[in-house]
Amino acid sequence: MFKGFKNKITIPMLIVLISLFSAGCSAGSYKTKMSVENNTAKRMQMSYSSFEGYKYTSIKLKKGDELTLNVNVTTEKGNLKISVLDEDDTELFKTENPKEEITKTIKIDKDADYKIKVEGKHKGKYKITWDTKESE
């Protein structure tokens, strides 16, 4: 008797929890078609038949930290820009449609929230991983 009732509550609760979890990991304004996304605390990864707009992940860094970024993009069509921005939205690093994997280390000069941002109109996939070497 309660089996149907339980499923009616469980599914909406799962949808809400997934939405809240996703919103906490990244932000932006974008739409995708046929996409698969896999994000963690140190990775942004997505493949899609269409991505349009921008999304970003915020990370808190301290003065003296070193942020090492690994960027891998496969472009079938369009343009995709990957950038690292400081709290004033100043670009500390950017690349567009790299043909091979890029590794970049950025020395952080102030305590702040930084953004790793993906933007464009693109068909393909990207994988961005990062690691932080903390200042001593």
Write the burial class of residue 19 (CB in 10 Å: 0-12 exposed, 13-18 middle, 19+ buried).
Answer: exposed
Can you read off the two tokens belonging to residue 29? 């304004």
In a 13 Å sphere around the CA of 19, the CA atoms on its Cβ side amount to 6
Q: Where are the alpha helices (DSSP H) in the chain?
A: 3-25
Strands 43-61, 27-33: pairing kind? antiparallel
Task: Please say if the pLDDT value at position 23 is more than 50.
Answer: no
d(CA 88, CA 72): 26
pLDDT in tens, 53-94: 999 999 999 999 999 999 999 999 999 999 999 999 999 999
76: left (phi over 0), alpha (psi -120 to 50) or beta: alpha
Model confidence pTM above 0.85: no
Answer yes or no: are the C-beta atoms of 104 and 49 closer than 8 Å: no
Domains of the chain: 28-133 (2.60.120.380)
Residue-level pLDDT at 90: 96
Task: Please say if the pLDDT value at position 19 is more than 50.
Answer: no
Q: Residue 6's pLDDT band (boundaries 50, 70, 90)?
A: low
> Which residue in 36, 33, 71 sits closest to 52, CA to CA?
33
Residue-level pLDDT at 134: 85
pLDDT in tens, 100-136: 999 999 999 999 999 999 999 999 999 999 999 986 6
pLDDT in tens, 30-40: 999 999 999 99
